[in-house]
């Protein structure tokens, strides 16, 4: 933890335009609505979340393609695909994390290149926008997990993977996201639809 804190201080010093940060969590929703199901996803937060914070938080699905208007998170690992699928696997096993949180202006679409693969070492975990500019820097930042929900209905579990130092905040990104979601239910919504047999995707 001390080493990570020193890294954060150093990065903040070297990048004076960076005034904020957000954390990226690998998460999943387990639900019994329509039968037992598990939805892998990603969450972002400005601070360590409480279960109340999760109740209306947007859920970003993992995807092989997050180009254009395809909102979501693309994770790639050349060493082990489980690095992108299993929460307790280390974040430094992830080679590329591409995040498209909002496809319409303001556009929040970055690629964070991880240094564990030689071809990306010169990118220093930086957040590259679609224009090729650097908008911040990410680094592995484990140490916080959450488990929230109902033992019958299901709920969310999540593990913090990265902290990104950038001028953007999770609050900004989620405000632009509005009412769209990449999975059917937030935790709060799921509690009100226990009797449904079929889940419908929201546009």
Considering its fold, how many domains does the chain have in total?
1
Residue 199 lies in a domain: no
- Give 22 or 106, the one with higher predicted confidence: 22
Provide CB contacts within 8 A for 80, sequence distance 6+: 89, 93
For position 46, what pLDDT does the model report? 94
For position 178, what pLDDT does the model report? 56
Residue 109's domain spans which residues? 2-184
Residue 19 lies in a domain: yes
Kindly report, residue by residue over 29-43, the tens digit of the pLDDT: 888 777 788 888 999
- Of the candidates 133, 8, 26, the one whose C-alpha atom is nearest the C-alpha of residue 77 is 26
- Tokens coding 177: 């996201």
Kindly report, residue by residue over 95-115, the tens digit of the pLDDT: 888 888 776 676 777 666 543
For position 112, what pLDDT does the model report? 65
Residue 194 lies in a domain: no
Residue 190 lies in a domain: no
Confidence category of residue 177, pLDDT binned at 50, 70, 90: low
Cα–Cα distance measured from residue 182 to residue 174, given in angstroms and rounded to the nearest whole number: 13
Confidence category of residue 116, pLDDT binned at 50, 70, 90: very low
Instruction: Tell me the pLDDT of the chain averaged across its residues.
Output: 72
Long-range contacts from 147-154, C-beta under 8 angstroms, 24+ separation: 148/51, 148/54, 148/187, 149/30, 149/51, 149/187, 150/191, 152/32, 153/31, 153/32, 153/33, 153/190, 153/191, 153/194, 154/29, 154/30, 154/31, 154/32, 154/33, 154/190
Percent of the chain with pLDDT over 90: 18
In 3-state terms, what secondary structure has residue 115? coil
For position 193, what pLDDT does the model report? 35
Kindly report, residue by residue over 121-167, the tens digit of the pLDDT: 347 778 887 777 888 888 999 999 999 987 777 888 999 999 999 88
Residue 196 lies in a domain: no
Residue 114 lies in a domain: yes
- Tokens coding 87: 């929460």
Confidence category of residue 201, pLDDT binned at 50, 70, 90: very low
For position 103, what pLDDT does the model report? 64
Residue 202 lies in a domain: no
Residue 189 lies in a domain: no
For position 50, what pLDDT does the model report? 93
């Amino acid at each position: 933890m001390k080493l990570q804190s020193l890294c954060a201080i150093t990065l903040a010093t070297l990048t004076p335009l960076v005034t904020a940060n957000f954390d990226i969590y690998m998460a999943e929703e387990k639900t019994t609505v329509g039968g037992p199901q598990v939805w892998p996803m990603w969450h972002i937060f400005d601070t360590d979340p409480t279960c109340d914070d999760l109740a209306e938080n947007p859920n970003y699905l993992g995807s092989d393609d997050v180009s254009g208007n395809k909102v979501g998170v693309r994770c790639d690992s050349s060493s082990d695909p489980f690095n992108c699928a299993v929460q307790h696997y280390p974040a430094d096993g992830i080679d590329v994390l591409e995040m498209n949180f909002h496809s319409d202006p303001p556009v929040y679409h970055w690629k964070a290149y991880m240094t564990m693969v030689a071809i990306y070492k010169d990118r220093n975990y930086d957040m590259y926008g679609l224009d090729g500019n650097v908008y911040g820097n990410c680094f592995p930042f484990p140490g916080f997990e959450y488990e929230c929900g109902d033992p019958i209905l299901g709920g969310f579990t999540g593990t913090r993977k990265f902290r990104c130092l950038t001028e953007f905040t999770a609050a900004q990104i989620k405000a632009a996201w509005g009412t769209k979601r990449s999975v059917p239910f937030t935790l709060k919504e799921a509690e009100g639809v226990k009797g449904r047999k079929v889940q419908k995707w929201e546009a």
